């Protein structure tokens, strides 16, 4: 029994370490640097300063390649008089680091919003890429489960909660395998697949609304380019049911 407890503790610690290792904590210096370059790029585009915009990505593209892209971005921003920038998510992939922003802009017809992602590569000056989208086109969450903004305490809390829920599932499965005296196979299946995720959507225009339950086995706090926020809570219902009814399966004679 002691060996089983040691093994369970080891597996739990390993899962927690793997979960935390998969979470990308934002680099504060890189975040500030890319935010400054993003503001400089937007200011240059709004001012019609193509040379100033190109200087920010000169190490990543030729002027001929950048020129049509620059023109397209200027057209997208046409009519914008001012804007506000809000950092959403970060992501690191190899030598490349990316920061995503929500741009809320004041335009002639009212308010617009854009999704911006700025990239940089280690060892190079300036940005390695700059992506600009209207929020109607950006339907993918910018702050994904492993790409939370560094200062988001709620994001980290939800990730840790999701990891602990999986540890709860693992503990229930091991306990069932070792101690269940009847219906072991059925209960093992229920523990592993009896899961549900419930979402709460926080929309800037509609207040908040409960979303239907669905099967995506993780907890997270997701940020979308249009300002919508989704809180996902993963519940291991099968594991909870096992521990609630454990005695009926481990001591069926009582």
Q: How far apart are the C-alpha atoms of 181 and 149, rounded to whole Å?
A: 47
The pTM of this model reads 0.50
Nearest Cα to 9, choosing from 245, 232, 171, 235?
A: 171
Which residues lie below 8 Å from residue 254, measured CB to CB, with a gap of 6+?
Answer: 247
State how far the Cα of 149 lies from the Cα of 155, in Å rounded to an integer.
8
143-164: burial string, b at 16+ Cβ within 10 Å, e else:
bebebbbbebeebbebbeebbb
Alpha helix locations (H) across 77-183? Answer: 153-179
Domains of the chain, first to last: 2-23+149-250 (no CATH), 28-134 (3.10.450.50)
pLDDT in tens, the chain (254 residues): 455 556 556 655 555 554 444 444 456 788 889 999 999 999 999 999 999 999 999 888 888 989 998 999 999 899 898 999 888 777 777 788 888 888 888 888 888 888 888 999 887 788 988 988 876 544 444 444 333 444 356 666 767 777 888 888 888 889 888 888 888 888 888 888 887 777 776 655 444 455 545 556 667 766 665 556 677 777 888 888 888 888 888 887 76
Q: How far is CA 201 from the centre of its chain?
A: 15
> Residue 100 CA to chain centroid, in angstroms?
11
Torsion of CA 139, 143, 146, 152, to 10 degrees: -160
| Cα angle: 65, vertex 67, 68; to 5 degrees | 90
């Amino acid at each position: 029994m002691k060996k089983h407890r040691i093994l369970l503790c080891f597996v739990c610690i390993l899962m927690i370490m793997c979960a935390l290792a998969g979470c990308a904590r934002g680099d504060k210096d890189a975040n500030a640097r890319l935010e400054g370059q993003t503001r400089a790029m937007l200011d240059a585009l709004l001012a019609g300063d193509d040379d100033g915009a190109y200087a920010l990505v000169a190490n990543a593209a030729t002027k001929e390649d950048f020129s049509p892209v620059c023109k397209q971005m200027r057209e997208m921003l046409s009519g914008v008089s001012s804007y506000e920038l809000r950092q959403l998510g970060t992501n690191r992939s190899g030598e490349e680091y990316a920061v995503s922003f929500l741009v809320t802009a004041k335009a002639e017809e009212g308010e617009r919003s854009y999704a911006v992602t700025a990239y940089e590569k280690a060892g190079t000056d300036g940005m390695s890429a700059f992506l600009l989208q209207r929020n109607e086109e950006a339907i993918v969450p910018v702050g994904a489960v492993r790409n939370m903004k560094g200062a988001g305490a709620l994001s980290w809390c939800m990730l840790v909660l999701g990891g602990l829920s999986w540890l709860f599932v693992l503990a229930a499965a091991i306990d069932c395998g070792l101690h269940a005296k009847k219906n072991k196979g059925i209960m093992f299946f229920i523990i592993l697949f009896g899961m549900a995720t419930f979402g709460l959507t926080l929309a800037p225009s509609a207040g908040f609304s409960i979303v239907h339950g669905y099967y995506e086995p993780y907890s997270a706090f997701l940020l979308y380019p249009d300002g919508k926020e989704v809180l996902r809570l993963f519940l291991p219902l099968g594991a909870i049911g096992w521990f609630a009814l454990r005695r009926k399966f481990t001591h069926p004679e009582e």
